[in-house]
Amino acid sequence: MKSKRFLSLLLSVITIFSTFFAVGCSGYKRKELNYGLGDVSYELNSLLEPCCTADYLSSVCGGFGVNTFRIWMSNNDMFLRDADSDEISLNPVKTEAIHQLCSKMKAQGVERLCAMSTTFIYPFDYTPTTYSVVPDPIGEKEFYVRFLNLVEKCYQMLATEFTEIDYFEVLNEPDHEVHSVVHKNGYTFNGSTTVNQDYFYTDAERTRICMDIQYYATCGVKKVSKEKKVLSPALCAYTASMDFLDLCYDAIESETLPTGKDYSVTDPDSYFEILNWHPYILSLGAKSMGEEWFEFQKEFYAVAQKHKDGDTPVWFTEVGFSAGQYSETESAELLEKMFKHVEKLPFIDTVIVFRINNLYATNISNLENNFGMLNSICDPLVTVDNVVKEVGKAYFKIINGDKNISQLTDKIKDFIGVYVN
């Protein structure tokens, strides 16, 4: 009996060691790190900061020298649906705004554009309580399959129209503890947990739904171009997020997906080709940015390796440090520490920092208002001398070394004072 227990323990130790050894010695290895920024363009959402025009955001990106930009491009904004059928068309105003944004980004040297959506389009005779609702795959199966077909149609149309966009991020933080983007009909975004308690899917249900959505979106994109890529759902990087990713792979390997087809697909590449998470949850070491955070990223990647998907690159499509939580100096130091860790994590291909601009004209919360690399130029007290926050100076130096920050301020000085009310 003792020998059997010893053998079992030994095998467990070997398995754990092999997994962590594999993270360090095999899998995807980047050639060079890609730096990015993300923010919401005013032309796409006029409820937010009016200074964040395509001209301004692209000029900032050019000044920082990033090569990647994450576009907030929600499908309920991008598409118009017929009142009496599931026929959809692109919103011409939003479509032109995206083309202009992409053109201006490319002119500033930003070649890699990633379009992210947090919302959906629905069958014409289905009425969701919010745009994050997904029809129940069992109780509302007919609506669910039509919903998935609309997902495919949306991404085929987006990939066809926006030849300048090569990356699509279909789901944003579906594992969020409070505001995930996959709910049963009846959920309301501002409702309390008590009000919404009957409208949450279980993690097993949610991950199956997410993988169905990923599959149909990937089919739509790949019908247009084999070169364009779909990212995995952007996970929050809780400890439980590793379990969520594990369940995603279990769903893929179950031989029961995709729903609505008479075949099964078990190749992860048919669902996503890039792994994606947001590694700034405080409980997992982001507050100190020490070894705990570093080890957690390796453990997260080990989930993919366990499922034989360890050749897949990782993107952080959103990470940042708010001055609503830390001092300006602390935010800068945390960002510097994070990138030092990233240097030793070769599976991380791209880091997109959130966000470009503090919120001044638009007040959401102290936390959300202060993630910017720059102070908002809607603020009348902002000048060319104080527009770049300490965290922005740190990010500029990480990308550009000892280059003078005038490379950035010269790009944006003419915008300062223009948007002050």
Q: How confident is the model at residue 217 (pLDDT cuts 50, 70, 90)?
A: very high
Does position 21 have pLDDT exceeding 80, yes or no?
A: no
pLDDT tens-digit series, residues 45-96? 988 899 999 999 999 999 999 999 999 999 999 999 999 999 999 999 999 9
| Tokens, residue 340 | 């030092």
203, burial (CB in 10 Å: exposed 0-12, middle 13-18, buried 19+): middle
Q: How far apart are CA 167 and CA 385, in angstroms?
A: 35
Q: Check residue 245 and give its pLDDT.
A: 98
Whether 8 shows a pLDDT value over 80: the answer reads: no
* Mean pLDDT value across residues 391-418: 97
Q: Is the pLDDT of residue 26 over 90?
A: no
Question: DSSP code of 233?
Answer: P
In 3D space, the residue among 40, 59, 67 whose CA is nearest the CA of residue 400 turns out to be 67
Question: What is each CA distance from 22 to 273, 343, 347, in whole angstroms?
Answer: 20, 17, 11
Distances (CA, A) of 51 to 156, 229, 269, 340: 32, 31, 39, 32
- Are 220 and 162 within 8 A, CB to CB? no
Residue 23 included in any domain: no
Range of the domain at 370: 32-415
Contact of 199 with 180, CB cutoff 8 Å: no
The domain total for the chain is 1
* Cα angle 319, 398, 22; round to 5: 65
Confidence of residue 420 (pLDDT cuts 50, 70, 90): confident
pLDDT at 234: 97
Whole-angstrom Cα distance, residue 290 to residue 278? 17
| DSSP sequence for 130-177 | STTB---TTTTHHHHHHHHHHHHHHHHHHHHH-TT--EEE--B-TT-S
Residue range 159-166: mean pLDDT, rounded: 98
Q: Is residue 229 within 8 Å of residue 114, measured between CB atoms?
A: no
Q: Is 150 within a domain?
A: yes
Instruction: Point out the least confidently predicted range of 180-184, 255-259, 317-321.
Output: 180-184
CA-closest candidate to residue 419, choices 46, 92, 111: 46
Tell me the CB-side half-sphere exposure of residue 138, using CA atoms within 13 A: 4
CA 196, 201, 203, 207 torsion-angle sign: negative
Distance CA 53, CA 212 (A): 35
Note the pLDDT tens digit of each residue in 369-394.
Answer: 999 999 999 999 999 999 999 999 99
Question: Residue 226 falls within a domain, yes or no?
Answer: yes
Q: Could you report the per-residue pLDDT of 128-147, keeping only the tens digit for each?
A: 999 989 999 999 999 999 99
Tell me what percent of the residues of the chain surpass a pLDDT of 70.
92
Domain assignment present for residue 22? The answer is no
DSSP notation for 334-401: HHHHHHHHHHT-TTEEEEEEE-SB--SSS---HHHHT--SB--TTSTT--TTTSB-HHHHHHHHHHHT
Query: Per-residue pLDDT averaged across 144-172, rounded?
Result: 98
Q: Confirm whether 99 is domain-assigned.
A: yes
Instruction: Indicate whether 388 belongs to any domain.
Output: yes
- Give yes or no for residue 396 having a pLDDT over 50: yes
User: In this model, does residue 20 exceed pLDDT 50?
Assistant: no
Query: Which pLDDT score is estimated for 178?
Result: 72
- Between CA 262 and CA 299 the distance in angstroms is 35
Over residues 323-342, the mean pLDDT reads 94
CATH number at residue 397: 3.20.20.80
Q: Is the pLDDT of residue 351 over 90?
A: yes
* pLDDT above 90 as % of the chain: 85
Residue 11 pLDDT grade (very low, low, confident, very high; cuts 50, 70, 90): very low
Q: State the pLDDT at residue 13.
A: 41
Domain-embedded: residue 7: no
Q: Report if residue 46 sits inside a domain.
A: yes
CA atoms within 13 Å, Cβ hemisphere of 397:
14
